[in-house]
Structure 1
C-alpha cells in the first residue's frame, strides 16, 4: 500500500522543517541579536577568525539552508494546491436532470423495505445501429462523454467495441492465411525477406492493444450487442431511418468511411454484396487508393449510377428486386429476409434517382447520402461521430463509427484480398521485395555480436522466450510484476541489437502519443531493473545513447541459441540432418506463447518458419518413406494450419499405400480449418482460397 510510505515521507519533511530551528534556537539562540557596534566591527577586522565569528558564520549558513528547504516545500505545496483547485474547476457537475435522478435513486435505496420485492421484467431493448452503445433515442447531452468508454479511440477515429473486435478477428485471419499458404524452402540464414512477414498497419496494432487493455462492457440479457454492425440485424429501422439519411457536418466524410468499414466487416458473415457505393463517393472517401484498393475489397460493388444497383439486389437477393417491392418490405419488417447491402451515394445521384433510391432503401441495411437529403431525415455529424438533427433539435440518438482516410485505409487493408501480382520464378520462399533486400531484420542476432556459450555457462540469469516467456535465476522463475516489463524483455530478446525509446513505446503502447508514454517506459524499466538487481544482483539491460539492449555477458537467451542453430544449419560442413535436428531441438514452442502483443506476429511467424523448413528438409532428405512421414507429421504439430505440409503428408501416405489414412488427414485438416472459421474452396487452377468467417482464433 502507498499510504504508509506517504505518511513516513510527510513525517520526515516535518522533522526537517521543525527540527533544525528548535536545535539552533536552543543551542545558539536567535540568529541576529542586534547590529554590531563600531568597536566590535573594528575588532572583527583586526581579528576575523575567532571562535565567536566562526560560530556565527556556521549558524547563519545553517539558517540559510533551512530557509532554502522551507522555500522548496512551500512552492511544492502551493503547486499541488493550485493543480487541485484547477481539477475541481474542470470537474463536470451534474445537470439538473442528473441531480434529480440521483435524488430519486437515493430515496429509493433508503426507503426500500427489508422484504424482497419481485421487480417487473425490463422492457424490450430497442434495436440499435452501427456504432451505438446505448438505446436509440435515450441519449442526453450529459451522457455523451460517458459513452466514450464503450468504444475504442485510435489516431484518426473512433470505433464501437464490436467493430474493433471484428478488426482484431480480421487481423488474426491475415496471419492465419499467411501460415496456411507458406511453402517450406531449403533452410537458409536466420535473416528472412518474406514479404508476407510485413507487420499489419499501425491502426490495426492500436486496436488490438486497446482491446487487450480494456474490459468488455456488461450487457443485459436480450440486449443488442454494443455497436453491432448493420448487416447483423435486418430490423434497424428503429435507429437508422429506413428511408435513408443524409449526412452533413464536419464528420460526415469520416462517418461514411466508418459505415463503409463497418458494413464490409459485418459482410464477412454473408457471401452476398455488403456495400454498394458510387464511384465518385469511393474516390472521395479513399482518395487515390480507391483505384487499387477498391477491386480487392470483397463484397464491395462500385457503381456509376443507382440504376446499376438493382442488378445487385436481384442477383444477390433473389425475389427482392425492384419488381418485388411489397414482398421485400414484408420480409424486412418480419426479419425473415437477409438484409440487403448498405448504400452510400452522393447528393447528386440521390437527387437524380430519388424514386429508385426510395425503392432500394426498403431492402437495404442502411442508406447514407453524403449531403442534405430532403426526401428523408438529415443528420449533422460532429468529428466525434455523434449525430444531431439538422434542425438543431438535439442529438439524433446515434453515434457512428468515424474514421479518417488513413485510418480507414489501414483497416480496409486487413480485409482486402492479398495482392494477386505473380511472384518471380523461384521465389515461393524468400521474398524479392526491394524494400527488404539486403537488410537484416532487427530480430536477427549475429554470431560475432552475440556469442553463445557452451553448456557449462556460468551465467545465472536466463531468459526463455520460446514457449512461455520466463526470466530464470539459477533455474527458478523471477516474478515480473508488470506485464509491460515482461514485454520489454521479450522485445529486447527479439531485437538483440537493441531498441530506442521510440521503438519500445510504439511497440508496447501502439497508437498512444509518445509524450505520454516516455515516463511510463522509464517507470517500467526502473521497476524491472530494480527487481532483477534485488533478486540476482546484476544488471542485464544496458542503456547507452538512448538505446536499450540485453547484456549478452549477463544473461542467456534461448532465442539467440535458436538463431545460432539456424545459422549453423546453413554454414556447417557436417551432416545437414544433424544440423537440422539441432534447429528443431532448440525450438520448444512458439515465441511468447499465448501472448497477443501486436508486434509479436512477424517475429513469431519468422521463427516458426525456420522450424517448418527444417522438418520439410529432413522429410525430403530421408530415404525412408515412413521416417519422412514422421517428420512431416511433426511439422504439422508445429503449424497445424500449413497446407503444404498436409499435402506432402497425404502424398507420403498414398505412396505407402495407405489411402484411408490420406483421406483421414485431409478430412482432419478440413475440420481444423472449419473449426478455425475458414473453408478451403478449389479454384480453376487447383489451388485453394479462403473465405472469411467469424471466430478466427489466435495462437
Structure 2
C-alpha cells in the first residue's frame, strides 16, 4: 500500500516548511530589524567581519534556503493541480438524458428510504482471454484530438487526420511485404552478414502503427480517387495562398498527403520546385523525385506550367511566394484548374486569396470569419522525413561484404533449483513451484501455459512485455527499452508508473498461479528466468544456432529448424517493435527450406519442401521461382502456370503487382495492414 509512504512524505515536507522558520524566529528573530542607519553602514564598511554581521549573513542564508524549498514545493503543487484539472476536464460529462435518468433514480432511492432494500452482490466479470484489452487498461499512447475536428491523431512532430494515418500504417506494412518479396534465401552460415533491410522503421512511423495496433478496421475503405478529390476540394479552384505561423508545417503535411494519395492512384499527384522542397525538408530533399514517382520536381514556375499543359491530370502544385510573380502564378493556377488540379502558394499570394494557417493545421479564410476552416495535416521536418521513408523507393545498394554476425543466444538447459520457500508475508496455500510447469508459446498466438492450461493475462501491454522479454533473451531489457517498445512516442517520464504497474500486476498473476518468480530484475534489466519457464522461440533459436555451426548431418539440422516453426512470431499482432524480429526469424526458416530443397536428391520431395516454405512465406519471389522451376522440371508446366497465376493475384491483393508500381493495401480488406501474414 502506498498511502503510508505518501503520508510520511507529506509530514516530512510539512516539517521542513514549518520547522526552520519557527526555529529561526525563536532563536535569532527576524533576519532584518529595520533598515540600517548611516552610522551602522559606515561601521560595517570599516569592520565587515564582526560576530553580529556573520550571524546576520548566516541567518539570511538560512532564510534564502527555506524560500528556495518553499518555492520548489509550491511549483510542484501547482503542476500537480494543473494536471488534476486537465484530467477533470477530460472526464466525460453526462448527457441531459443520463442526468435526468440519474436524478429519477436518486429520487426513487430516497423516496423509499423507509423500506428495506436488498441489493444483490455484483456478479464477477467473466475472465478475458490472454491479451484482451479491458476498460481499465492503459490509455493509448496516441491521444485522439478533442478539438472541433476529432478525426485525427497527435504525434510528437505534428498531427495527422485519421485517413492519412491509415495510409501511413498501410505504407509501413507494404515496406515489410516488399522486403519479404525481394529477399533471396541463402544457406545457414555461422558468418552470415547483417541484413540491412530488417532494420526497424522510423519512430514517427512506429507511433502511427501503434495507434492502429488494436483499432478495428473501417467498415468501408475510402476510395483512393475520392480521397484525392476531397483533398483538392479543400482549396479554391482559382488557387490559394497560405500565410501564418503554420505555413511550413501545413506545407509538409500537404506534401505527405498528396504523395500518399499518389501511392493509391499510381499516378503523379504533386508538382513542386526544388527550392520549395529544400525549404520544407532540407538540403537533401531535391533528390527525392528520383525515388518518388508521385512527385515531379522542377526548377522554375515556367517548367511547372509546361508540365501541367503537356500532361493534363489533376495535381497539386506547391510553390513558395518568394520564387514567383503574380502573372506567372495566375497563369499556372488557371492551367492547373483546367486540368482539375489546384495551386498552393506557401507564404501568401498577393494576386489571389490568402488564408491564415495556425500551427495546429487549421486554415482560416479572413473573408469568412464566421465559418470554421478545414484542418490539414501538419508535420515538422523530422516527422515528415520519417514518413517519407515508407513511401520512397529504396535505392539499390550493392551487396554488403560478409561480416561476422553475433551468434544467436544458445539456450542452455537450466539446472534444477530448490523450490522457493514461502516467506512470512506470503500465504501458505500457494501452489508448490516444484510441481508446476510453465511454458510460454510465442510462435502463433502468444499464450502462457501453466500445466498446459492458458493463464488469463488481462493487459495487452503485459502480454507485449512477456513476448518482448522472450525475444530479447538472455540479455533482457531495461525500463527505458520496454517503455519505448510498448508505448512509442510517449514521454518516458509519464510512463514510469504505468510500466511498473503493468509489470507488478503481471508478476503477481504469474506468481499466484504458479508460485514462481518468472520475471527477474537484476542490474537494472528485466529478464525471463529459464529455470522456471520454457519458451518455444528459444528452442527455435537453439536449432538455428546448431544448424549455423553444424559440420556433419546438416540436413537433419535444417529440418529441425523447420519443425520448430509452427507459425509466425506472435501471429496476428501488429506491435511495431515486432516486425524486425519476426522477419529475421522467418528468414532463418525459409533459408533452411531452401537449403533442404537444394540438398534433396528426389525432385518430388524437394518440391514438397519448397511448398512448405511457401506456406511459411507466400510473398517471397525467390521461393516461387524455385517452385515453378521444380514443377517444370518434373514435367508439370500447368502446375507452374497455375502457381504463377496465384502468386500474381496475391501480389495484386497486397498492392505489389509485378507489372505496376506499388500501391497501398486497404485496411478494410486486412485490418492489420497485411503484416500478419
TM-score normalised by length of structure 2? 0.73
**How far off is 1:562 after superposition?**
0.5
Instruction: Kindly report which structure 2 residues correspond to 1:216-255, keeping only aligned pairs within 5 A, or say none.
Output: 232-234=227-229, 239-255=234-250
Q: In 2, Cα distance between the equivalents of 1:399 and 1:235?
A: 13
Deviation digits for residues 331-363 of structure 1 (CA, Å, limit 9, x no counterpart): xxxxxxxx6111100113442513322323313
Q: Tell me whether 237-246 or 483-492 shows the greater mean CA deviation.
A: 237-246
**How far off is 1:601 after superposition?**
0.6
Specify the alignment match of 1:168 in structure 2: 169
Matched, 1:470 2:434: no
Specify the alignment match of 1:348 in structure 2: 322
Specify the alignment match of 2:333 in structure 1: 358
Q: In 2, Cα distance between the equivalents of 1:315 and 1:187?
A: 53
Select which of 634, 638, 647 maps to 1:656.
634
Specify the alignment match of 1:566 in structure 2: 544
**How far off is 1:673 after superposition?**
1.0
Higher relative contact order (CA 8 A, sep 6+): 2
Specify the alignment match of 2:156 in structure 1: 155
Q: Is the 8 A contact 2:225 2:265 kept in 1?
A: no
Q: In 2, Cα distance between the equivalents of 1:379 and 1:453?
A: 72
Q: Paired residues, what number?
A: 538
Q: Is the 8 A contact 1:230 1:263 kept in 2?
A: no
Q: Is the 8 A contact 1:199 1:602 kept in 2?
A: yes
Cα distance 1:91–1:469, how it changes in 2: closer, same or farther (>3 A)?
closer
Q: In 2, Cα distance between the equivalents of 1:391 and 1:528?
A: 58
Q: In 2, Cα distance between the equivalents of 1:182 and 1:92?
A: 48
Q: In 1, Cα distance between the equivalents of 2:537 and 2:83?
A: 52
Q: Is the 8 A contact 1:245 1:373 kept in 2?
A: yes
Q: In 1, Cα distance between the equivalents of 2:540 and 2:438?
A: 18
SS class of match (2:212): helix
Unaligned runs of 5+ residues in structure 2 are: 8-72, 101-143, 417-433, 667-672
Q: In 1, Cα distance between the equivalents of 2:511 and 2:661?
A: 50
Instruction: Kindly report which structure 2 residues correspond to 1:322-341, keeping only aligned pairs within 5 A, or say none.
Output: 340-341=314-315
Specify the alignment match of 2:663 in structure 1: 692
Specify the alignment match of 2:41 in structure 1: none
Deviation digits for residues 570-594 of structure 1 (CA, Å, limit 9, x no counterpart): 2234311111111111111100010
Deviation digits for residues 444-497 of structure 1 (CA, Å, limit 9, x no counterpart): 4234xx54789xx98611111011111011111111110000000000000011
**How far off is 1:671 after superposition?**
1.2
Q: CA RMSD in A?
A: 3.7
SS class of match (2:296): strand
Select which of 364, 382, 389 maps to 1:388.
364
Select which of 367, 375, 378 maps to 1:399.
375
Specify the alignment match of 1:421 in structure 2: 397
Cα distance 1:526–1:375, how it changes in 2: closer, same or farther (>3 A)?
same
Deviation digits for residues 75-107 of structure 1 (CA, Å, limit 9, x no counterpart): 9xxx89x9499729984999xxxxxxx999999
Q: Tell me whether 235-244 or 651-660 shows the greater mean CA deviation.
A: 235-244
Cα distance 1:597–1:519, how it changes in 2: closer, same or farther (>3 A)?
same
Q: Is the 8 A contact 2:193 2:404 kept in 1?
A: no
Specify the alignment match of 1:446 in structure 2: 410
Specify the alignment match of 1:65 in structure 2: none
Matched, 1:411 2:387: yes
Q: Is the 8 A contact 2:365 2:373 kept in 1?
A: no
Specify the alignment match of 1:38 in structure 2: none
Q: Is the 8 A contact 1:272 1:316 kept in 2?
A: no
Matched, 1:284 2:285: no
Cα distance 1:276–1:628, how it changes in 2: closer, same or farther (>3 A)?
same
Cα distance 1:653–1:218, how it changes in 2: closer, same or farther (>3 A)?
closer
Q: Is the 8 A contact 2:145 2:153 kept in 1?
A: no
Cα distance 1:459–1:553, how it changes in 2: closer, same or farther (>3 A)?
farther
Q: In 2, Cα distance between the equivalents of 1:281 and 1:384?
A: 21
TM-score normalised by length of structure 1? 0.70
**How far off is 1:269 after superposition?**
2.1
Matched, 1:523 2:494: no
Q: In 1, Cα distance between the equivalents of 2:87 and 2:490?
A: 27
Cα distance 1:216–1:253, how it changes in 2: closer, same or farther (>3 A)?
farther
Specify the alignment match of 2:478 in structure 1: 500
Specify the alignment match of 1:124 in structure 2: none
Cα distance 1:550–1:651, how it changes in 2: closer, same or farther (>3 A)?
same
**How far off is 1:643 after superposition?**
0.3
Q: In 2, Cα distance between the equivalents of 1:366 and 1:290?
A: 22
Unaligned runs of 5+ residues in structure 1 are: 14-74, 95-101, 108-142, 318-338, 682-688
Q: Is the 8 A contact 1:229 1:263 kept in 2?
A: no
Cα distance 1:470–1:453, how it changes in 2: closer, same or farther (>3 A)?
farther
Q: In 2, Cα distance between the equivalents of 1:479 and 1:180?
A: 37
Q: In 1, Cα distance between the equivalents of 2:632 and 2:218?
A: 52
Specify the alignment match of 2:611 in structure 1: 633
Deviation digits for residues 499-543 of structure 1 (CA, Å, limit 9, x no counterpart): 111111111011111111111100100000010010000111111
Matched, 1:593 2:571: yes
Q: In 2, Cα distance between the equivalents of 1:155 and 1:306?
A: 34
SS class of match (1:146): coil
Q: Tell me whether 371-380 or 612-621 shows the greater mean CA deviation.
A: 371-380
SS class of match (2:576): coil
**How far off is 1:147 after superposition?**
3.3
Specify the alignment match of 1:307 in structure 2: 302
**How far off is 1:272 after superposition?**
2.4
